[in-house]
């Protein structure tokens, strides 16, 4: 989870560097990216704690016969997968939308969009 978090943070910070001009008042793009950064940080931190503390006592993770209780970690994995797909799609769409608002020739917009869309593969 830390690897996914820091990868997404690196991508979002790079998008902020590319699409949010320096020395300009914070705009919708800045707030959108800052919200995604904060949301990802909270989500992956929470998910990490859920995985670490999925059972009480923690030994029950390795020894299921020990008395205690556990959350259904499979449901957590499914929910996090859905959230990750939606988040990845948003991270893909933002630069594509912003690229088409640039003052470039259509051919250049297509080229730049294709560069950003390589993340879709």
- Tens-place pLDDT, residues 30-45: 999 999 999 999 999 9
Check residue 65 and report its DSSP letter: T
Residues 6+ apart with CB under 8 A from 30: 16, 20
- Tens-place pLDDT, residues 86-111: 999 998 888 888 888 878 888 888 88
Q: How far from chain centre, in Å, is Cα 62? A: 30
């Amino acid at each position: 989870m830390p690897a996914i978090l820091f990868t997404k943070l690196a991508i979002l910070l790079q998008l902020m560097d590319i699409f949010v001009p320096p020395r300009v008042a914070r705009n919708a793009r800045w707030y959108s990216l800052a919200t995604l950064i904060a949301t990802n940080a909270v989500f992956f931190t929470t998910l990490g704690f859920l995985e670490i503390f999925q059972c009480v006592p923690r030994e029950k993770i390795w020894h299921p016969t020990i008395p205690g209780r556990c959350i259904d970690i499979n449901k957590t994995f499914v929910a996090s997968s859905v959230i990750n797909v939606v988040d990845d799609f948003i991270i893909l769409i933002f630069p594509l939308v912003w690229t088409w608002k640039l003052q470039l020739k259509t051919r250049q917009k297509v080229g730049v969009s294709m560069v950003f869309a390589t993340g879709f593969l």
